[in-house]
Amino acid sequence: MDRCRTPSAPAGAHELHGLPHTKLTLLGRVLDHHHPGRRTPTETTLFKSTGHGALDIATAAIIYTTARTRGLGTHLDL
């Protein structure tokens, strides 16, 4: 991985600072298929919002649409 692609903790995500770069992947890298994301059901995905609400909504829309397209997720009657 080249240096410009090495992820680091995003600004505002202080609790992620100090983690090895091998433990961090930017969500955009998963969404654009440059990183596989979770490989097994036991791996954990954490989305750290850094305060940009519009980006959170855009990300949620992509995740929701992808899940619906692939028949993933569970419908909840609220």
Q: Does residue 8 register a pLDDT over 70?
A: no
Where do the domains of the chain lie?
Answer: 3-70
Q: Which two tokens stand for residue 25?
A: 């992947």
CA-to-CA distance for 45 and 47, rounded, in angstroms? 7
Give 20: exposed, middle or buried? Use CB within 10 Å, 0-12, 13-18, 19+: exposed
Read off the pLDDT band of 7 (50, 70, 90). low
pTM: 0.46
Give 38: exposed, middle or buried? Use CB within 10 Å, 0-12, 13-18, 19+: exposed
Give the pLDDT of residue 13: 73
User: pLDDT tens digits, residue range 19-67?
Assistant: 787 878 877 888 888 988 888 988 877 777 667 788 888 888 998 999 9
